[in-house]
């Protein structure tokens, strides 16, 4: 194997962009797109970090470190990576059970798994996740995220933090008397701006205007002594023994993830038992990260008429998630909404994502103290919009009306399992159901049976002792019995059987066993068999199990004409004898 085979596909998108010719105009386009996306990403990163149960700065660190590393190392020219809404349903239970340290350790483990997937060249795995499964769990995630935001949107005081969806609704309903007019007003105002501002103009990001209006309204209400929960009132940090409101105004600092607090507030004790407990969550995070990033790359390619390298993208995602926990960042993957915004604003290369990361870094260093005034209700309103866009409710409703009933069932089951249980179970069950439906559909396509010789012109003039048997479709465990059921049911005058296999693309071991029994049954009756149009891979399998030509009265023929010619020779020999 040449040394070239071992070359890691790193910096693929960056190299491709420069190979096409990177000009000053391209840099200007990347700069504008990166600044626009960076402005949008700042509040979203904080809101998503809060949604998974950690302080908002950890979401910003994810956008800075993860967004920069993945863009430079990955295989998509346009993907903008950072914290995403899809991870909320997976990461929140991890935070509740293992704390911030456990969450970062899961991210590190997921990065290793993503690296392994990229090195194993499994970037095409997105093709094996059916659309109803993807739609079902993404819509379910949207429902869960929207429900989680109702507490801050209305300023409700919950007695506990429930872990199950039905319990969440029970506590929300119980807490309705605690609704805060100030938070509700700010949340509704922010939500209305987010909905209607894009209809006025897209030159100025609606998220920026919505947050500005929400913050100003919140400050006004606070001046009137109407309570409004703010980020500074909820979160704080300690510096030189002094507690400050909001988030620390510093760039991400090096930290060992396992030294951060667990659920009990103490540093984690890393051992085999803990890693074993975290592994299922890490696998789920890696799987969802791979799906999200590759889907995002496909969307970007469709918008910009480009092509990405899926294996390089998985390696980039793996490296990003492997390194970002050492800077206090949580799980990162490509975000479709931010990536689409970057493409629409003229991005040409991964430099746009780098600019986006630098914009977040500047905001942390220069504006962190201002972030303390952000109303929690405004951040909740932003995530409500994210949840709505993620759920694709209009498309889901359309599919429920017009989609095939079986696919609709898979979608609904995935949605309900995601909402009521968890996404890992939903995807697992969804894939099993989709696989079962695929097997059934393939089995329905496979059939076999005796046919009148007149259906094939080459055999039409042969005598009655010649029979034709046709097999259509793949022969596998679910279809072989049906397709081969009648292969031995020929009358006593039959001496030759032509089995037309030109429409058989594949055959598995179960079909081989049944086929062998059927041919042995024909051989016991003294019937000669001519296997017509057997494809080379199937012919090799038949020979490996002993079903070779000129044995037990079996012969391979390339075409029906060739089989007819050989049968005429046999008939002539019999007549002379």
Give the span between the Cα atoms of 463 and 48, in whole angstroms: 77
CA-angle at 233, arms to 232 and 238, nearest 5°: 65
Give the span between the Cα atoms of 364 and 508, in whole angstroms: 59
Give the span between the Cα atoms of 25 and 7, in whole angstroms: 32
Adjacent-strand bridge partners of 236: 245
Q: What is the pLDDT of residues 87-124, one digit of tens each?
A: 998 999 999 999 999 999 999 999 999 999 999 988 88
Residue 529: partners with Cβ closer than 8 Å, 6 or more residues away: 496, 497, 499, 519, 522, 523, 553, 554, 555
Give the span between the Cα atoms of 127 and 133, in whole angstroms: 12
* Residue 493 near residue 465, CB atoms below 8 Å: yes
- pLDDT of amino acid 229: 96
Q: What is the pLDDT of residues 384-441, one digit of tens each?
A: 999 999 998 999 999 999 999 999 999 999 999 999 988 778 888 988 998 899 899 8
pLDDT-based confidence at residue 550 (cuts at 50, 70, 90): low
State the Rg of the chain over Cα. Answer: 31
Q: What is the phi-psi region of residue 55: left when phi exceeds 0, alpha when psi lies from -120 to 50, beta otherwise?
A: beta
Give the span between the Cα atoms of 537 and 530, in whole angstroms: 18
- pLDDT of amino acid 549: 62
This prediction's pTM: 0.84
pLDDT higher than 80, residue 551: no
Give the span between the Cα atoms of 461 and 307, in whole angstroms: 55
* Residue 58 near residue 49, CB atoms below 8 Å: yes
Task: Determine what percent of the chain falls in helix, strand and coil, rounding each to the nearest 5.
Answer: 65, 10, 25
Closest CA to 56 of 66, 70, 42: 42
437 in helix, strand or coil?
helix
- pLDDT of amino acid 189: 97
- pLDDT of amino acid 473: 93
Give the span between the Cα atoms of 464 and 493, in whole angstroms: 8
pLDDT higher than 70, residue 24: yes
Average the pLDDT over 565-577 and give the result.
Answer: 86
pLDDT-based confidence at residue 377 (cuts at 50, 70, 90): very high
pLDDT-based confidence at residue 145 (cuts at 50, 70, 90): very high
- Tell me which of 553 and 161 has the higher pLDDT: 161
Give the span between the Cα atoms of 16 and 75, in whole angstroms: 9
pLDDT-based confidence at residue 204 (cuts at 50, 70, 90): confident
- pLDDT of amino acid 43: 95
Give the span between the Cα atoms of 569 and 556, in whole angstroms: 15
| 363-401: burial string, b at 16+ Cβ within 10 Å, e else | bbeeebeebbbbbbbbbbbbbbbbbbebbeeeebeebee
Average the pLDDT over 126-148 and give the result.
Answer: 89
* Residue 450 near residue 488, CB atoms below 8 Å: no
What is the DSSP secondary structure assignment for residue 268, as one 8-state letter? P
- Tell me which of 158 and 230 has the higher pLDDT: 230
- pLDDT of amino acid 129: 83
Task: Give the torsion sign (CA, 141, 395, 353, 73).
Answer: positive
pLDDT higher than 50, residue 1: no
pLDDT-based confidence at residue 4 (cuts at 50, 70, 90): very low
- pLDDT of amino acid 7: 62
Q: What is the pLDDT of residues 465-519, one digit of tens each?
A: 999 999 999 999 999 888 888 887 888 889 999 999 999 999 999 999 999 888 8
Highest mean pLDDT among 14-23, 59-68, 114-123, 506-515: 59-68
pLDDT averaged over every residue in the chain: 91
pLDDT higher than 70, residue 553: no
Q: What is the pLDDT of residues 153-176, one digit of tens each?
A: 999 998 777 778 999 999 999 999
State what percent of residues in the chain have pLDDT above 70.
97
Cα 443 from chain centroid?
A: 27
Alpha helices (runs of H) in 175-271, residue ranges in sequence order: 181-200, 206-223, 231-234
| 173-211: burial string, b at 16+ Cβ within 10 Å, e else | eebeeeebebbbbbbbbbbebbeebeeeeeeebbbebbb
Closest CA to 330 of 169, 92, 533, 571: 92
Give the span between the Cα atoms of 103 and 66, in whole angstroms: 15
Give the span between the Cα atoms of 135 and 523, in whole angstroms: 52
């Amino acid at each position: 194997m040449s040394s070239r085979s071992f070359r890691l596909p790193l910096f693929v998108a960056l190299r491709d962009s420069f190979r096409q010719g990177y000009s000053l105009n391209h840099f200007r386009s990347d700069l504008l797109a990166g600044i626009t996306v960076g402005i949008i990403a700042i509040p979203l990163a904080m809101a998503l970090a809060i949604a998974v149960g950690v302080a908002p700065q950890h979401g910003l660190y994810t956008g800075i470190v993860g967004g920069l590393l993945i863009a430079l190392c990955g295989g998509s020219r346009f993907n903008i990576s950072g914290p995403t809404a899809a991870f909320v349903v997976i990461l929140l239970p991890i935070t509740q059970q293992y704390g911030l340290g456990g969450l970062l350790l899961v991210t590190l483990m997921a990065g290793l798994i993503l690296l392994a997937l990229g090195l194993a060249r499994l970037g095409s795995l997105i093709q094996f996740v059916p659309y109803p499964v993807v739609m079902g769990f993404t819509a379910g995630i949207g429902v869960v995220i929207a429900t989680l935001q109702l507490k801050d949107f209305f300023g409700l005081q919950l007695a506990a933090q429930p872990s199950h969806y039905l319990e969440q609704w029970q506590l929300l309903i119980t807490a309705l008397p605690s609704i805060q007019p100030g938070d509700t007003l700010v949340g509704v105002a922010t939500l209305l701006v987010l909905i209607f501002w894009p209809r006025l103009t897209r030159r100025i990001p609606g998220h920026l205007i919505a947050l500005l209006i929400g913050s100003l309204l919140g400050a006004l209400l606070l001046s009137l002594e109407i309570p409004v929960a703010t980020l500074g009132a909820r979160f704080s940090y300690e510096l030189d023994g002094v507690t400050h409101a909001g988030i620390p105004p510093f760039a991400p600092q090096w930290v060992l993830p396992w030294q951060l607090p667990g659920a009990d507030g103490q540093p984690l004790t890393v051992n085999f038992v803990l890693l074993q407990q975290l592994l299922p969550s890490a696998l789920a995070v890696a799987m969802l990260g791979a799906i999200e990033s590759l889907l995002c790359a496909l969307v970007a390619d469709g918008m910009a008429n480009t092509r990405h390298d899926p294996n390089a993208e998985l390696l980039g995602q793996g490296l990003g998630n492997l390194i970002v926990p050492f800077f206090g960042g949580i799980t990162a993957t490509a975000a479709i909404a931010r990536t689409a915004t970057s493409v629409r604003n003229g991005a040409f290369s991964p430099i746009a994502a780098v600019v986006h990361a630098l914009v977040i870094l500047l905001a942390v260093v220069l504006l962190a103290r201002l972030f303390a005034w952000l109303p929690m209700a405004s951040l909740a309103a932003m995530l409500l919009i994210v949840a709505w866009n993620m759920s694709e409710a209009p498309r889901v409703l359309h599919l429920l009306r017009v989609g095939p009933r079986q696919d609709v069932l898979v979608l609904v089951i995935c949605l309900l399992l995601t909402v009521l249980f968890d996404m890992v179970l939903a995807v697992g069950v969804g894939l099993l159901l989709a696989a079962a439906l695929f097997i059934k559909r393939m089995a329905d396509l496979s059939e076999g049976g005796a046919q009148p010789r007149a259906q094939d012109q080459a055999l039409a003039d042969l005598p009655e002792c010649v029979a034709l048997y046709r097999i259509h479709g793949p022969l596998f465990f679910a279809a072989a019995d049906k397709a081969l059921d009648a292969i031995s049911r020929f009358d006593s005058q039959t001496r030759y059987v032509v089995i037309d296999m030109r429409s058989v693309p594949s055959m598995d071991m179960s079909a081989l066993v049944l086929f062998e029994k059927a041919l042995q049954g024909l051989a016991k009756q003294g019937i000669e068999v001519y296997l017509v149009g057997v494809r080379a891979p199937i012919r090799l399998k038949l020979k490996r199990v002993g079903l070779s030509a000129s044995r037990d009265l079996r012969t391979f023929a390339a075409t029906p004409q060739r089989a007819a010619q050989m049968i005429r020779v046999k008939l002539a020999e019999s007549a002379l004898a």
